Amino acid sequence: MNPRLVILDVVARPLYVVVLLASLVVLLRGHNEPGGGFIAGLVAVTASVLWALAHGPAAAEARLPFRSPLILSAVGVALGVVSGLPALLFGDAFLTHLWGAIPLGFTELKVSTVLVFDVGVYLCVWGALAGYALSLLEADLTPADDERPEPRR
Amino acid sequence: MSVWLAASPVLVPLATALATALAYRHARLQRLLSLAGIVAFFGTALTLVATVQGGETLAVAFGSWPAPFGIEFRIDRLGASLVLITALMGLACLVFHESDADPGNRHPLLLPLVHGVLAGVAGAFATADLFNLYVWFEVMLIAALGVFAIGGRRDQLDASFKYLTLNLLGTLLLLIGVGAIYAATGHLNYGALAEAAAGLPPALTTLLLTVLGLAFLVKAGAFPLFAWLPASYHTLPGPILALFAGLLTKVGAYAVLRVVGDVFAPPPAVLLEALGWIAAATMLVGVLGAAYHWDIRRILAFHIISQIGYILLATALAGEAGNAATLFYTLHHIVVKANLFLIGAIVWRLTGSYDLRRIGGLWQARPWLGVLFAIPALSLVGIPPLSGFWAKYLVLFEAIGQGRIVWTVVALLVSVLTLYSMMKIWLEAFWRPHPDAGWTLPRDARLAPAVAATVGLAAITLWIGTQPEALIAYARAAAATMGGAAP
């Protein structure tokens, strides 16, 4: 890989946060408008890839929630399964989603198990695809047998 | 609660896969979770069979979106018995995996992926929606691919690549078929499709079912679309190989049965005719391929193909008797085939090789293993009073009854050749002295779990063989409620 780029290095720090915030916006607006867990997950993956380009795949992995792509995606799938379970209390079928509203005075906040499901998709996509992308970048960094190891800074 | 029981074939293995994935840093905990999960799966599958055997079907519409618009699991006797056999195979192979007979690389992702495969298999048996069936095939494919690639050895990556390419072709064909059927009928739900099928022009039905059937035949490993199977299976660790060999191709065979014998029953006669000839060719090519090989795993892998031929032949005979024979044959065969691979892994542990030319002397050293091998081997051939005899009896009785003399003769000939293959393994691995005069049994082999699993499966084979009435009655009852009831 190229020697580290100072500009990328500096810009990556705020950009990482901005991209993740953008992914959250996409996640939440996906309820009634284009967006949702899958696309938001893809946006979040770009943040991880950005960090990997600036600081290396290992550093990007350490910045993931739970510090592991596998755990992150497993937690995502688990949230997806869990979101279908409250239906059990009401004798409904698995994945029957429940809705509620919390009055806030001036408006009301709608909460639902669908959101839990969507967050699950988000984490799963983020974990799985970041895992693939980071391993590929890692493979790119690892010298092949017939190459001399490059000096690492 | 019944809606939850209906969802359990997928929920339980999926939850186990998640739990084992989350515990991937703790090997012991992971193995405990995996065993607990498979026992729970076996328990729910038993409950499932007990619930539906009276004729009730268990259904769940996910998210309470009603059929035919939502996705539905609908478990009848056919689906329930196959879910049970899936859980049983998972149990036997995971218990076997606790021994040191060819366990392979104990990678932290292996157990989550194996449970993922089980979820895919059970989901395919439980679903009542054609697109959802495709999804479960895909789950199976992706999880199995992970298992194939896990060691990262050159031959494993080679096997994964062949497995991926050829199976993706099948999957693509399946997707095209599902899309075309949706375009033609506007439905994906089995029940709605069965109603809509009557109104389709026969030529269109033939075309749609040909595409769909070809896709399933790729998955089942039928002639001439089986190249992926012997190219990849032998790189897997013993117990995982047994699990895959027992279950994966049978999902394809089940899908053929479900579509031809239930949803679109009775299908155009030309399709059944073609399926019958494909089945005969599959039987013959599989058994001839086996005769050429010396590696136990490769011999047995070709016999998977050959036996798939018998199952497809039963499906091609159609009607209630054909469908019942298909189910009986499938259940018998999964147990026998997995057990042969498991015993092969024990042979590997004791003699150090899968290659028949380099091993021998086991009859002197371990006579009980020779007997244990003989039970599934002779059952595969179809010697009475083992389970294979009744399975072949049901198929051939119906074939003769329908005047299908050529198919009957091929099936009998293949039985003789199967006997030749099994005798080859028995003579080379057990009867003949070991080619290396200094060979002794390994002293530190930890085989207790392996023996427990193989003896358990052999006992099931013997039980089916000596008490076939119960299973035959169950298979007939299952066939009676399928669409092919009136040929």
Are B422 and B380 in contact, with CB atoms under 8 Å apart? Answer: yes
pLDDT of residue B99: 92
- Give the closest residue to B193 by CA, choosing from B185, B184, B205, B201: B185
Residue entry with tokens 């497993």: A74
Instruction: List the single best residue of A75, A95, A97, A124 to mutate versus B (max B Cβ within 10 A).
Output: A95
pLDDT of residue B291: 87
Q: Beta strand pairing status for B58-61 and B72-75?
A: antiparallel
- Please report residues of B whose CB lies closer than 8 A to that of A97: 63
pLDDT of residue A3: 60
Q: What is the mean pLDDT of residues B95-116?
A: 91
The b-or-e profile of A115-143 (16+ CB within 10 A means b, else e) is: bbbbbbbbbbbbbbbbbebbeebeeeeee
Q: Do B61 and A93 count as a contact with CB atoms less than 8 A apart?
A: yes
Q: Do B18 and A74 count as a contact with CB atoms less than 8 A apart?
A: yes
Residue entry with tokens 């809509």: B196
Q: What is the mean pLDDT of residues B265-277?
A: 92
Q: Do B4 and A88 count as a contact with CB atoms less than 8 A apart?
A: yes
Six token digits for residue B264: 């679109």
**What are A108's strand-pairing partners?**
A103
pLDDT of residue B252: 94
B445: left (phi over 0), alpha (psi -120 to 50) or beta: beta
Compare all CA atoms of chain A with the CA of B59 and give the residue at the minimum distance. Answer: A93
pLDDT band for A4, please (50, 70, 90 cuts): low
Strand (E) or helix (H) holding B334: helix B319-351
Shortest Cα distance, chain B CAs vs residue A129, angstroms = 14
Note the Cα B334 to chain centre separation in Å: 5
At residue B33, what is the residue type? L
pLDDT band for B223, please (50, 70, 90 cuts): confident
Note the Cα B85 to chain centre separation in Å: 9
- Please report residues of B whose CB lies closer than 8 A to that of A77: 14, 18
- Please report residues of A whose CB lies closer than 8 A to that of B24: 70-71
Q: Do A70 and B18 count as a contact with CB atoms less than 8 A apart?
A: no
Hey, is A117 helix, strand or coil? helix
Q: Mean pLDDT for chain B?
A: 91
- Please report residues of B whose CB lies closer than 8 A to that of A118: none
The residue with greater pLDDT, B79 or A148, is: B79
- Give the closest residue to A49 by CA, choosing from A139, A141, A137: A137
pLDDT of residue A144: 55
Cβ neighbors of B184 (< 8 A, separation 6 or more) are: B200, B204, B208
pLDDT of residue A143: 62
Identify the top-confidence range among A86-95, B41-50, B261-270. Answer: B41-50
pLDDT digits (tens, 9 = 90+) for B442-486: 888 889 999 999 999 999 999 999 999 999 999 999 998 887 544
Q: Do B24 and A94 count as a contact with CB atoms less than 8 A apart?
A: no
Of all residues in chain A, the percent with pLDDT exceeding 70 is 88
Shortest Cα distance, chain A CAs vs residue B150, angstroms = 14
Compare all CA atoms of chain A with the CA of B66 and give the residue at the minimum distance. Answer: A93
Six token digits for residue A22: 């953008």
The residue with greater pLDDT, B288 or A3, is: B288
Are A72 and A65 in contact, with CB atoms under 8 Å apart? Answer: yes
pLDDT of residue B287: 93
Of A70, A77, A95, the CB nearest to B24: A70
At residue B40, what is the residue type? A
pLDDT of residue A150 exceeding 70? no
The b-or-e profile of B453-467 (16+ CB within 10 A means b, else e) is: bbebbbebbbebbee
pLDDT of residue A103: 75
Hey, is A41 helix, strand or coil? helix
pLDDT of residue B463: 95
The Cα–Cα gap between B70 and B300 comes to: 41
- Percent helix, percent strand, percent coil in chain B, to nearest 5: 80, 5, 20
Q: Do A93 and B64 count as a contact with CB atoms less than 8 A apart?
A: yes
pLDDT of residue A87 exceeding 90? no
- Give the closest residue to B389 by CA, choosing from B305, B341, B333: B333
Are B280 and B309 in contact, with CB atoms under 8 Å apart? Answer: yes
Using a CB–CB cut-off of 8 Å, the residues of B that contact A are 3-4, 7, 11, 14-15, 18, 21-22, 24, 60-64, 109, 112
pLDDT of residue B486: 42
In terms of C-beta density within 10 A (0-12 exposed, 13-18 middle, 19 or more buried), how is residue A18 classed?
exposed
The Cα–Cα gap between B420 and B33 comes to: 42
pLDDT of residue A152 exceeding 70? no
- Please report residues of B whose CB lies closer than 8 A to that of A76: none
pLDDT of residue B181 exceeding 60? yes
pLDDT digits (tens, 9 = 90+) for B381-418: 998 889 999 999 999 999 999 999 999 999 999 999 99
Shortest Cα distance, chain B CAs vs residue A12, angstroms = 30
The Cα–Cα gap between B292 and B29 comes to: 44
Shortest Cα distance, chain B CAs vs residue A89, angstroms = 10
Q: Do B21 and A81 count as a contact with CB atoms less than 8 A apart?
A: no
- Please report residues of A whose CB lies closer than 8 A to that of B63: 84, 93-97
In terms of C-beta density within 10 A (0-12 exposed, 13-18 middle, 19 or more buried), how is residue B180 classed?
middle
Are A79 and A116 in contact, with CB atoms under 8 Å apart? Answer: yes
Note the Cα B412 to chain centre separation in Å: 22
Q: Per-domain residue ranges for chain A?
A: 6-141
pLDDT of residue A97: 81
pLDDT of residue A148: 47
pLDDT of residue A146 exceeding 70? no
DSSP state of A108: E
The Cα–Cα gap between A31 and B406 comes to: 61
Beta strand spans in B295-367 (E) = none
pLDDT band for B369, please (50, 70, 90 cuts): very high
Q: Per-domain residue ranges for chain B?
A: 2-485
Identify the top-confidence range among A24-33, A59-68, B149-158. Answer: A59-68
Six token digits for residue B33: 């979770």
